[in-house]
C-alpha cells in the first residue's frame, strides 16, 4: 500500500525574484535559505495529513524570467492547483499578476489558485491591500495569503490551504 492517499501536482509561478523557490524550500525543509534564480523548472515533494487524508504534493517551481514563459503551457499540464507569488515589497511584481493569472487559467482546467504575497517581513503595512482584494475577486482566486519565508509566517498555511481545496474539490 502506498504511503499517501491523494497525489496532486501544484504549480508555483510568478515574476523572477519574488521568492517562489525560497517559499517552497522553507515549507519542505523548514529552513530559510537565500536561493539563486531558478533556471527552467525545479521540483519538490511534500506530504501533509489533513483530516485523516494523506496528501502528497508534487510542487513545481517555474523560473519567472521572460525566457521561461514559453515553458509554462507544458509545465501547467496536469496541474490541479496553483500558487501565484508576488513580492509585497516590489509593486511591479503585483502589476504583473494579471499576466500570470491568465497564463495559468489558459493552460489549466478550473483549478484552485492561491495568491501569495511574499516578503511580509520587509513591509510594515500593505499599502495596496484594497487592490489585492479586488484582484482576488476579479479573477476568482481562492484567497490571498501574505507570507515570510524568512520568519516562516504563514508558510505552512499556504500549502495546507491548497491541499484542503484539492481534497474538497475531489471528494
Residue 110 pLDDT exceeds 70: yes
- CA–CA gap between residue 102 and residue 105 (Å, rounded): 5
CB neighbour list of residue 9: distance below 8 Å, 6 or more residues apart: 57, 58, 60, 78, 79, 80, 81
What pLDDT shows up at residue 68?
64
Q: How confident is the model at residue 129 (pLDDT cuts 50, 70, 90)?
A: confident
Structure confidence by residue, pLDDT tens digits, 18-68? 999 999 999 999 988 876 666 556 789 999 999 888 999 999 988 766 666
Q: How confident is the model at residue 1 (pLDDT cuts 50, 70, 90)?
A: very low
- CA–CA gap between residue 113 and residue 152 (Å, rounded): 21
Structure confidence by residue, pLDDT tens digits, 25-35? 999 999 888 76
Residues 43/133, Cβ–Cβ less than 8 Å: no
What pLDDT shows up at residue 171?
59
Residue tagged 529552513 (cell numbers): 31
- CA–CA gap between residue 101 and residue 123 (Å, rounded): 24
| Domains and their CATH numbers in the chain | 1-87+156-171 (3.40.50.300)
Amino acid at each position: 500500500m502506498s504511503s499517501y492517499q491523494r497525489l496532486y501536482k501544484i504549480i508555483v509561478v510568478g515574476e523572477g525574484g519574488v521568492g517562489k523557490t525560497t517559499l517552497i524550500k522553507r515549507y519542505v525543509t523548514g529552513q530559510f535559505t537565500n536561493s539563486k534564480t531558478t533556471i527552467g523548472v525545479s521540483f519538490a515533494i511534500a506530504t501533509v495529513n489533513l483530516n485523516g487524508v494523506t496528501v502528497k504534493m508534487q510542487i513545481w517551481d517555474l523560473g519567472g524570467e521572460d525566457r521561461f514563459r514559453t515553458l509554462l503551457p507544458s509545465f501547467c499540464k496536469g496541474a490541479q492547483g496553483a500558487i501565484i507569488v508576488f513580492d509585497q515589497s516590489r509593486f511591479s511584481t503585483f502589476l504583473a499578476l494579471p499576466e500570470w493569472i491568465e497564463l495559468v487559467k489558459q493552460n489549466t482546467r478550473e483549478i484552485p489558485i492561491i495568491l501569495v504575497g511574499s516578503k511580509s517581513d520587509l513591509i510594515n503595512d500593505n499599502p495596496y491591500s484594497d487592490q489585492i482584494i479586488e484582484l482576488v475577486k476579479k479573477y476568482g482566486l481562492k484567497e490571498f495569503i501574505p507570507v515570510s519565508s524568512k520568519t516562516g509566517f504563514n508558510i505552512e498555511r499556504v500549502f495546507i490551504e491548497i491541499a484542503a481545496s484539492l481534497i474538497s474539490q475531489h471528494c
